[in-house]
Amino acid sequence: MNNRLELLQPYPFAKLASLKKEVTPVDKPHIALSIGEPKHTPPAFAAEALAANLDKLAAYPATKGIDALRNAIAEWLRHRFQLADVCPDTQVLPVNGTREALFAFAQAAVSPGSRVVMPNPFYQIYEGAALLAGAEPHFVNCCADNGFKPDFDAVPEQVWQDCELLYLCTPGNPTGALLTSNDLKKLLALADRYDFSIASDECYSELYFDETKPPVGLLQVCEELGRNDYRRCAVFHSLSKRSNLPGLRSGFVAGDAEIMEKFLLYRTYHGCAMPLPTQFASIAAWQDEEHVRHNRALYREKFASVLEILDGCLDVAQPEAGFYLWPRVGDGETFARELFRQQNITVLPGSFLARQVGGENPGAEYVRMALVATREECVEAARRIRHFCG
């Protein structure tokens, strides 16, 4: 077996199960705020497109995907991020959800012994991908005094020299923080200077609160710089959060044509082509924005209701985007365990999403709350949390 498997830490939800194992919760209906699994109703037309193309299960899909899907994705990118052009043939690849693609990308993009820079807290796939590629993760803390954005100025020059891949997450998981256009321009300059690629995880980009101010994307900043070849850049998007289709396992990666060519070669050997019925359902989803606007409206209502109830009892604020709350609670593990015991609500300790760097785990004083359940359940959870804190 690959001995680097021994470097992988238990997944956050395995740690959470252990934390809850010895606890008997109060006799109240359980409310899960721990897993970022969208619970809003998926668009019916996507399911209809899936069902209408089940006969295509008799055909092997191409790893590159069908032209119609890549064209739909390219058109969505052009419209969403004001791009002059995206070549669907050379700059777009469909993937079976961003989790699969973010992991696979490191296997193709880095060499053993290099460094992979990533935010801390982070999506644990980044760390596992780096370790199994034979690289060393370098964690960049995301703290309140920096707006929960990674403090890239604190990264030593030697780390940048050894870096072959930088993982970004904007909007951030778990904090909801956004990288600005200027932030991304600085990182592009670093990528050019030190010769590394940027993998920008933007799967929460369509969950924001102000319809007039959608989050900026990495390719959009490339466009602003006249960097139309998207050199060194790859962005990752998904239908899971945007369209409430986590079970469809559908997303895409887009960017630098040279990187896409090599990533396609890797994926061809990897054997991870998207089934044709899934591709047709994905086309329908990427071509519709009405259901996405409705989805955002539902989250706005939940955040407004929950934050009104929690006002004054928790150190928490509305994030810039995404569907997580990131309250500061003191000891996150104790808070999560006792909240489960006393109110039968599950939240995720922030320490499970971060690593200790310089004697500090930047998630230790926080918990992550995913407002993915119904508004009624989220409101009930907020009332119980207020009682718990009071």
Convert the pLDDT of each residue in 93-149 to its tens digit: 999 999 999 999 999 999 999 999 999 999 999 999 999 999 999 999 999 999 999
Let me know whether 136 and 59 are in one domain.
yes
What pLDDT sits at residue 298? Answer: 98
Write down the pLDDT at residue 22. 86
**Dihedrals phi, psi of 126, to nearest 5 degrees:** -60, -50
pLDDT of residue 221: 98
pLDDT at 257: 98
Residue type, 367: V
Does residue 57 sit in the same domain as residue 174?
yes
What are the structure tokens assigned to 206, written together?
Answer: 């369509």
| Last-in-domain residue among 269, 287, 305 | 287
| All residues at 6 or more sequence positions from 225 whose CB lies less than 8 Å from its CB, including other chains | 185, 188
Gap between the Cα atoms of 278 and 290, Å rounded: 20
Across the chain, what does the average pLDDT equal?
Answer: 97
Q: How far apart are CA 374 and CA 98, in angstroms?
A: 25
Among 232, 252, 287, the domain-final residue is: 287
Of the residues 287, 320, 355, which one is the last residue of a structural domain?
287
- Asked if residue 3 is part of any domain, the answer here is no
Q: Are residues 273 and 361 in the same domain?
A: no
Find all residues with CB under 8 Å of 66, minimum gap 6, and list them. Answer: 276, 279
282 & 252 share domain: yes
Distance CA 81, CA 352 (A): 33
Sequence-ordered list of residues with C-beta below 8 angstroms from that of 280, at least 6 positions apart, any chain: 49, 50, 52, 53, 56, 68, 69
- Regarding whether 255 and 303 lie in a shared domain, the answer is no
CATH of the domain at 341: 3.90.1150.10
Question: What is the count of structural domains for the chain?
Answer: 2
Query: Does residue 139 belong to any structural domain of this protein?
Result: yes
With respect to residue 2, please indicate whether it lies within any of the assigned structural domains: no
**Residue at 204 is within a domain:** yes
Domain co-membership, 353 together with 229: no
The structure's pTM equals: 0.97
| pLDDT tens column, 334-366 | 999 999 999 999 999 999 999 999 899 999 999
Whether residue 251 contacts residue 238, with contact meaning beta carbons closer than 8 Å, is answered with yes
Identify the CA nearest to 119 among candidates 320, 366, 355, 368: 355
* 84 belongs to a structural domain: yes
Range of the domain at 103: 45-287
Q: Do 273 and 369 reside in the same domain of the chain?
A: no
Position 390 scores a pLDDT of: 86
Among residues 267, 378, 366, 255, which one has the least CA distance to residue 317? 366
* pLDDT < 50 positions in the chain: none
| CATH number for position 91 | 3.40.640.10
3-state secondary structure of 342: helix
One-letter amino acid identity for 90? T
Among 253, 275, 276, 279, smallest CA distance to 266 is for 253
Q: Are residues 88 and 221 in the same domain?
A: yes
In a domain, 1, yes or no: no
